[in-house]
Protein backbone atom coordinates (compact mmCIF):
# COMPACT_ATOMS: atom_id res chain seq x y z
CA UNK A 1 0.00 0.00 0.00
CA UNK A 2 1.25 3.45 -0.92
CA UNK A 3 1.33 6.07 1.86
CA UNK A 4 1.24 9.80 1.27
CA UNK A 5 0.52 13.03 3.12
CA UNK A 6 -1.18 16.29 2.25
CA UNK A 7 -1.30 19.59 4.14
CA UNK A 8 -3.77 22.28 3.23
CA UNK A 9 -5.60 25.36 4.52
CA UNK A 10 -9.41 25.36 4.70
CA UNK A 11 -12.14 27.79 5.69
CA UNK A 12 -15.45 27.36 7.44
CA UNK A 13 -17.28 30.23 5.72
CA UNK A 14 -20.62 31.14 7.29
CA UNK A 15 -23.31 33.63 6.31
CA UNK A 16 -26.74 33.95 7.87
CA UNK A 17 -27.45 30.37 9.03
CA UNK A 18 -25.56 28.76 6.15
CA UNK A 19 -22.11 27.35 5.37
CA UNK A 20 -20.34 27.33 1.99
CA UNK A 21 -19.22 23.89 0.75
CA UNK A 22 -17.62 22.67 -2.48
CA UNK A 23 -18.16 19.38 -4.35
CA UNK A 24 -14.87 17.53 -4.90
CA UNK A 25 -14.22 16.12 -8.38
CA UNK A 26 -11.00 14.19 -7.80
CA UNK A 27 -8.78 12.62 -5.20
CA UNK A 28 -9.81 10.69 -2.12
CA UNK A 29 -12.91 12.84 -1.49
CA UNK A 30 -14.37 12.48 -4.99
CA UNK A 31 -18.14 13.08 -4.83
CA UNK A 32 -18.06 14.54 -1.32
CA UNK A 33 -18.81 18.03 -0.06
CA UNK A 34 -15.81 19.75 1.52
CA UNK A 35 -14.68 22.99 3.06
CA UNK A 36 -13.20 25.39 0.51
CA UNK A 37 -9.42 25.22 0.58
CA UNK A 38 -6.39 23.36 -0.60
CA UNK A 39 -2.64 23.04 -0.86
CA UNK A 40 -0.24 25.71 0.30
CA UNK A 41 1.96 26.97 -2.52
CA UNK A 42 5.71 27.35 -2.01
CA UNK A 43 6.46 30.27 0.32
CA UNK A 44 2.76 30.89 1.04
CA UNK A 45 1.40 31.21 4.57
CA UNK A 46 -1.60 29.08 5.53
CA UNK A 47 -3.77 32.21 5.88
CA UNK A 48 -2.75 33.41 2.41
CA UNK A 49 -3.44 29.94 0.98
CA UNK A 50 -6.93 29.89 2.54
CA UNK A 51 -7.76 33.35 1.14
CA UNK A 52 -6.46 32.37 -2.33
CA UNK A 53 -8.36 29.07 -2.34
CA UNK A 54 -11.61 30.81 -1.29
CA UNK A 55 -11.18 33.23 -4.20
CA UNK A 56 -10.46 30.37 -6.65
CA UNK A 57 -13.19 27.99 -5.48
CA UNK A 58 -15.91 30.40 -4.35
CA UNK A 59 -15.11 33.71 -6.07
CA UNK A 60 -15.21 35.30 -2.60
CA UNK A 61 -12.74 37.76 -1.06
CA UNK A 62 -12.08 36.97 2.61
CA UNK A 63 -10.66 39.84 4.60
CA UNK A 64 -11.39 38.95 8.22
CA UNK A 65 -10.78 35.46 9.54
CA UNK A 66 -9.51 33.63 12.58
CA UNK A 67 -7.37 30.52 12.92
CA UNK A 68 -9.21 27.59 14.57
CA UNK A 69 -6.41 25.05 14.73
CA UNK A 70 -5.10 22.00 12.95
CA UNK A 71 -7.02 18.77 12.33
CA UNK A 72 -5.58 15.55 10.99
CA UNK A 73 -7.20 12.45 9.60
CA UNK A 74 -5.89 9.24 8.06
CA UNK A 75 -7.98 7.76 5.28
CA UNK A 76 -7.59 4.74 3.03
CA UNK A 77 -8.94 4.72 -0.49
CA UNK A 78 -8.38 3.20 -3.89
CA UNK A 79 -7.35 5.20 -6.91
CA UNK A 80 -9.29 4.57 -10.11
CA UNK A 81 -6.41 2.30 -11.20
CA UNK A 82 -7.05 0.09 -8.15
CA UNK A 83 -3.97 1.14 -6.16
CA UNK A 84 -4.68 1.28 -2.42
CA UNK A 85 -3.47 4.48 -0.74
CA UNK A 86 -3.28 5.60 2.86
CA UNK A 87 -3.44 9.39 3.12
CA UNK A 88 -2.41 11.37 6.19
CA UNK A 89 -4.36 14.60 5.65
CA UNK A 90 -3.55 17.64 7.76
CA UNK A 91 -5.76 20.72 7.60
CA UNK A 92 -5.09 24.19 8.96
CA UNK A 93 -8.61 25.40 9.66
CA UNK A 94 -9.91 28.96 9.60
CA UNK A 95 -13.29 30.56 10.17
CA UNK A 96 -14.74 33.55 8.35
CA UNK A 97 -18.18 35.13 8.31
CA UNK A 98 -20.06 37.21 5.77
CA UNK A 99 -23.05 39.42 6.60
CA UNK A 100 -25.24 37.60 4.06
CA UNK A 101 -25.10 34.76 1.55
CA UNK A 102 -23.70 36.05 -1.71
CA UNK A 103 -23.57 34.28 -5.08
CA UNK A 104 -20.76 31.71 -5.28
CA UNK A 105 -18.70 30.64 -8.29
CA UNK A 106 -20.76 28.58 -10.72
CA UNK A 107 -19.35 25.56 -12.55
CA UNK A 108 -16.44 24.82 -10.23
CA UNK A 109 -12.86 26.01 -10.31
CA UNK A 110 -11.68 23.89 -13.24
CA UNK A 111 -9.30 21.93 -11.01
CA UNK A 112 -10.90 19.87 -8.26
CA UNK A 113 -14.36 21.29 -7.53
CA UNK A 114 -17.55 20.93 -9.56
CA UNK A 115 -19.66 23.49 -7.74
CA UNK A 116 -19.97 25.65 -4.64
CA UNK A 117 -23.20 26.05 -2.68
CA UNK A 118 -24.59 27.43 0.54
CA UNK A 119 -26.21 24.85 2.84
CA UNK A 120 -28.19 25.14 6.04
CA UNK A 121 -26.70 22.96 8.77
CA UNK A 122 -29.61 20.49 8.70
CA UNK A 123 -29.23 20.12 4.92
CA UNK A 124 -25.48 19.51 5.28
CA UNK A 125 -26.08 16.71 7.79
CA UNK A 126 -27.62 14.63 4.96
CA UNK A 127 -24.65 15.09 2.59
CA UNK A 128 -21.58 12.95 2.01
CA UNK A 129 -19.07 15.16 3.79
CA UNK A 130 -15.31 15.03 4.03
CA UNK A 131 -13.95 14.49 7.55
CA UNK A 132 -12.92 18.17 7.90
CA UNK A 133 -16.36 19.40 6.81
CA UNK A 134 -18.09 17.01 9.24
CA UNK A 135 -15.88 18.17 12.10
CA UNK A 136 -16.35 21.86 11.25
CA UNK A 137 -20.12 21.38 11.30
CA UNK A 138 -19.98 19.46 14.58
CA UNK A 139 -21.38 16.17 13.33
CA UNK A 140 -19.75 13.62 15.66
CA UNK A 141 -21.65 10.75 14.02
CA UNK A 142 -19.78 11.48 10.78
CA UNK A 143 -16.26 11.49 12.28
CA UNK A 144 -15.60 7.91 11.22
CA UNK A 145 -16.66 8.61 7.66
CA UNK A 146 -15.34 6.08 5.15
CA UNK A 147 -14.43 7.42 1.75
CA UNK A 148 -16.35 5.68 -1.01
CA UNK A 149 -14.14 3.45 -3.14
CA UNK A 150 -14.69 4.04 -6.86
CA UNK A 151 -15.84 1.04 -8.86
CA UNK A 152 -13.18 -0.19 -11.30
CA UNK A 153 -14.05 0.65 -14.89
What is the spatial distance between Cα 149 and Cα 22, in angstroms, rounded to a whole number? 20
Cα 90 to the center of its chain, rounded Å: 12
Is the pLDDT at 141 greater than 70? The verdict is: no
Burial of residue 134 (CB within 10 Å: 0-12, 13-18, 19+) is: buried
Q: Would you state the pLDDT for residue 152?
A: 41
The model carries a pTM of 0.88
Please name every residue paired with 15 in a beta bridge, in sequence order, or none if there are none.
18, 98
Q: 112 vs 145, which has greater pLDDT?
A: 112
Tens of pLDDT, residue by residue over 32-76, are: 999 999 999 999 999 999 999 999 999 999 999 999 999 999 988
Tens of pLDDT, residue by residue over 74-102, are: 988 887 788 899 999 999 999 999 999 99
Domains (range + CATH), the chain:
2-142 (3.90.79.10)
Amino acid sequence: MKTTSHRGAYVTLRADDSIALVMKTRGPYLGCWDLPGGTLETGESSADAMVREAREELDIAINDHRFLGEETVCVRFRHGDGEEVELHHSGLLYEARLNACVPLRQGGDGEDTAEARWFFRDEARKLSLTPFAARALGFPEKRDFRIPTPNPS
